Amino acid sequence: MAIAYVIWGVITAISALIIKLSLHIITGRRNRKRAVGFFHPYTNDGGGGERVLWCAVKAIQEETADLHIDCVVYTGDHDASPQSLAARALDRFGVNLIHPPKVVHLDKRKWVEETTYPHFTMIGQSLGSVYLSWEALCKFTPLYYFDTSGYAFTYPLARMFGCKVICYTHYPTISLDMISRVRERNSMYNNDALIAQSIWLSRCKILYYTIISWIYGFVGSCAHLAMVNSSWTQSHIEKLWRIPHRTKRVYPPCDTSGLQVLPLERPSKTPIIISVAQFRPEKAHTLQLEAFSVALKKLDADLPRPKLQFVGSCRNNSDEERLQNLKNKAIELKVDGDVEFYKNLMYRFI
Ligand SMILES: *[C@@H]1O[C@H](CO)[C@@H](O)[C@H](O)[C@H]1NC(C)=O
Ligand SMILES: *[C@@H]1O[C@H](CO)[C@@H](O)[C@H](O)[C@H]1NC(C)=O
């Protein structure tokens, strides 16, 4: 008898929750605004993804100037305001928005942070992103939901809210290479050495990745229009999402007009190599440094000594730490005189 009561209680609670969530969705659908909502929780990372965001906002402002469509940015940065974001777009990327975007602040960003999930990071972050987009869509439901950060798991929810889903994908969350890498039992930044050594753990990881790649295929196929940044990403996304007719390749917006006016003659005799990338793990800065130091050793003594300049942004403390380690590594390799570091530079031509 008691057990029947417990089951009954659980069923009632779940039904109440489902009804409550459905009401939120119905209210959201009814109150959809003529707007494009850009889901971009980290609006201060200073990378290529952020540049795409601002170029997309600007392009939509230009295309819809007389249609009264607002551009709204969902961000987890609490200090972000329409003015500060417009200023950032200009200072960091040279993108001059027609008017500042509207801003919707998100409080639940920690649910998509890697540090929240020491294990099963991928599934944790994916579910976390659904929760974060729930917050976003309840606070403001746009007609068009534009994901510029690769949170594919949020698309089915955006569709429930009646949005048209558009995305710009730089990189598939899970790629078929990752599965084959575990299969070959390589150890890389996303596959720690312990797992690479054990056959059973590797098999479990393959199963985990395979299941996630199915789910990823389903959620991705909910996009009405998927833009990808390269032929590599296109071939992976087409295999995973299986919507080739709605997948378009749009190369990232690189403004070369400013660069073209720079003089071609070299101001100094020193050959300079510039490496531009955020100080994040997958950019393999340490490897670049090691390669440079090996190359230096092989260089003929009568040739001019080249310089390596690292230019990039730091998103947070882990990036800062990585940069510091890189500087220490340069000293250790005795190339600190040949390497220069430039952090968080402004986008500005002389
Ligand atoms: C820094 O940001 C990256 C990417 O958002 C995240 O994976 C990492 O855990 C963050 N580190 C800290 C210390 O916040
Ligand atoms: C696409 O984005 C990924 C991830 O940021 C980057 O590694 C790759 O170089 C980009 N491809 C192009 C053609 O810009």
Relative to the alpha carbon of 250, which ligand is closest? 2
Judge if 21 and 113 occupy the same domain. Answer: no
Residue of 169, 170, 232 to mutate, ligand 2, most atoms within 8 A of C-beta: 170
Judge if 41 and 22 occupy the same domain. Answer: no
Judge if 65 and 151 occupy the same domain. Answer: yes
170 lines ligand 2 (CB under 6 A): yes
Q: Give 30-74 pLDDT, tens digit per residue.
A: 999 999 999 999 988 777 789 999 999 999 999 998 888 999 999
The domain boundary residue, chosen from 221, 249, 277 = 249
Relative to the alpha carbon of 148, which ligand is closest? 2
Judge if 127 and 152 occupy the same domain. Answer: yes
- The DSSP secondary-structure symbol of 229 reads S
171 lines ligand 2 (CB under 6 A): yes
The domain boundary residue, chosen from 190, 214, 249 = 249
A 10 A CB-CB count for 149 gives 24
Q: Is residue 158 part of a domain?
A: yes
Judge if 51 and 81 occupy the same domain. Answer: yes
Quote the pLDDT of residue 289. Answer: 96
Q: Give dist(CA 302, CA 304) in Å, integer.
A: 7
What is the residue range of 277's domain?
260-343
Residues whose CB falls within 8 Å of the CB of residue 347, separated by 6 or more in sequence, listed in order: 91, 92, 93, 94
Q: Whose CA is nearest to atom 6 of ligand 2?
A: 170
Judge if 78 and 95 occupy the same domain. Answer: yes
Quote the pLDDT of residue 118. Answer: 86
Q: Is residue 254 part of a domain?
A: no
Q: Give dist(CA 140, CA 254) in Å, integer.
A: 31
Percent of the chain's residues with pLDDT above 70: 95
Tell how far the Cα of 272 is from the centroid of ligand 1, in angstroms. Answer: 31
Q: What is the mean pLDDT of residues 96-114?
A: 94
Tell me the CA end-to-end span of the chain in Å, nearest whole number: 81
Q: What is the mean pLDDT of residues 313-319?
A: 91
Tokens for 249, please give them.
């390749």
Relative to the alpha carbon of 281, which ligand is closest? 1
List the CATH number of the domain containing 169: 3.40.50
Residue type, 310: F
Residue 97, helix vs strand vs coil: coil
Burial of 141 (0-12, 13-18, 19+ CB in 10 A): buried
Q: Give dist(CA 186, CA 193) in Å, integer.
A: 8
Contact between 102 and 71 under an 8 Å Cβ cutoff? The reply is yes
Check whether 350 has a pLDDT greater than 50: no
Judge if 78 and 20 occupy the same domain. Answer: no
Res. 258 pLDDT band, cuts 50 70 90: confident
Tell how far the Cα of 256 is from the centroid of ligand 1, in angstroms. Answer: 31
Quote the pLDDT of residue 317. Answer: 92
Tokens for 95, please give them.
């993108």
Quote the pLDDT of residue 193. Answer: 62
Q: What is the mean pLDDT of residues 234-255?
A: 94
What total of structural domains would you count in the chain?
Answer: 3
Q: Give dist(CA 298, CA 291) in Å, integer.
A: 11
Judge if 191 and 232 occupy the same domain. Answer: yes
Q: What is the mean pLDDT of residues 300-329?
A: 93
Tell how far the Cα of 122 is from the centroid of ligand 1, in angstroms. Answer: 14
Quote the pLDDT of residue 188. Answer: 54
More confident residue, 267 or 314: 314
Contact between 169 and 216 under an 8 Å Cβ cutoff? The reply is no
Closest CA to 151 of 133, 138, 139, 163: 133
Judge if 72 and 18 occupy the same domain. Answer: no
Q: pTM here?
A: 0.79
The domain boundary residue, chosen from 249, 275, 301 = 249
Q: Is residue 255 part of a domain?
A: no
